[in-house]
Structure 1
C-alpha cells in the first residue's frame, strides 16, 4: 500500500447536488482522520468520537455513512489497497520484459518498501505482531481482500512471462509469493540477503520444478 493521500473516489463537481457534495467531502475527511489516528496509535485505539471531532462532523453522520467503526476500517483498507494495487501493477508491468524472476523480485520489493514507508501499514503490522490490531483482517480475510487481488495481479503477469507453465501452477506460485511477502512484512527476516531476492528465487524455483 502507498503513503496516504486524499481518497481516490471521484471528487465533487459542480453537477453534484449539495447533499451529495457534502457526503463526498465528509467521507474524505473521515478517512483522512481515521488514517492519521490509526497510523499513530493502531486501529484498536481509534475511537469514532475522536474521528468525528477531528473531521468536524457528528457521530450520527459517520454512522449513517459507514455503519460503524468496522465500516470505516473497511473503507480505509479498501482505499489504501486500491492505491497499493495500482502501484504494484505498474511495477510488474515495468519488469515484465526482464523475465519471471525479475517480475517476482520487483513485486516483492515494491510490497516491502510500501509496507516500510506507509505509516498505516507500519502501525497495523506492528500491532499484529502482538495479535491486537483488528484492522489486519481486512487485508486478508474479508471479501475481495488485497491478498487475493495481489495474487491475481501476479498470476496474470506470470501467465505472460511463463506461458509454458500450467495455469494452476502459476496460481500456486503467485499464492506462495504473496503469502511469503506478507509473512516477511509482519515478521521481518534476519537473513543478510534481501528478502525480495529470497522470495523471488524460491517462487521461481517452484515455477520451474
Structure 2
C-alpha cells in the first residue's frame, strides 16, 4: 500500500511540474510542445503521453488547473468580506488583476481562440462557474436574501467583470467598485 502511495505522489509531483512548466511556456507566448516539455522535465515524451494522452489532453489539464486557481482566488476574495458590495468589488478586482498579469487567464476569459476550450465555446463556462461561486457566497453569508436576486447579482457581477476585461473603462479599482455597487443595488443592501 505504501509503495502505491509513493508512486502516486511521484506521479502527482511530475504532473505538477509539467503543468508549471507548460503554464510558464504559454504565458511567455510559447506553444505547448511535448518534446520541449519532456526535455525541460527530464522525462520521455512517452511518459508525458501516458500521463496526459496527447497535446490536447495536456492543454485541457492546464486550462482546468488555471481555471480552478482563478476561481479559487475570486472565492477567497469574496470570503474576505462580509458586505456583499465590498465582497464583489474585491472578487472583481482580484479577477481583473489576475487577468492583467496572466496572459493565459486573460486569453481564457476573453475567449481567445488560441486557448483550447475544454468546456465548450469561449468564456461562458468560466463565467457560469464564477457566478455559481458568487451565488454560493451570498447564500452562505446572507441567507435572508432572495434566491432570484442572488442569482441575478452574482451572474451580473461575473459578466461585468469579463466585460471590463475585454473593454476596460479605466483603472481596475474603479471597475471593481462599480461592480460592487451594481451588486448592492440588485440586492438592495
Does the pair score TM above 0.5? yes
Q: Does 1:87 align with 2:73?
A: yes
Deviates more, 1:82-91 or 1:56-65: 82-91
CA displacement, residues 103-152 of structure 1 (integer Å, 9 cap, x when unaligned): 21111111112222335325x369x57x44223x347759xx54333222
Give ranges in structure 1 of 5+ residues lacking alignment.
Answer: 1-13
Judged with a 3 Å threshold, the aligned counterparts in structure 2 of structure 1 residues 148 and 105 are, in CA distance, closer, same or farther, namely same
Aligned match for 2:114, one of 133, 136, 139: 133
Task: Say which SS state the counterpart of residue 80 (structure 2) adopts.
Answer: helix
Report whether the alignment pairs 1:66 with 2:46: no
CA distance in 1, matches of 2:21, 2:9: 19
| Alpha-carbon distance in structure 2 between the residues aligned to 1:92 and 1:33 | 29
**Over the residues paired in the alignment, what is the CA RMSD in angstroms?**
3.2
**Contact persistence 1:139–1:147 (CA under 8 A):** no
Specify the alignment match of 2:188 in structure 1.
208
Give yes or no for the alignment of 1:51 onto 2:46: no
Post-superposition CA distance 1:36-56 (Å, at most 9, x none): 1101115xx322222222222
The 5 A counterparts of 1:1-209 are 15-16=3-4, 19-41=7-29, 45-96=31-82, 99-122=83-106, 124=107, 128=110, 131-135=112-116, 137-138=117-118, 141=121, 145-190=125-170, 194-208=174-188
Greater mean alpha carbon deviation, residues 100-109 or residues 182-191: 182-191
**How many residues get paired?**
187
SS at match of 1:165: coil
Q: Which has the higher contact order (CA 8 A, sep 6+)?
A: 1
SS in 2 for 1:95: coil
- Structure 2 runs not aligned, ≥5 long: none
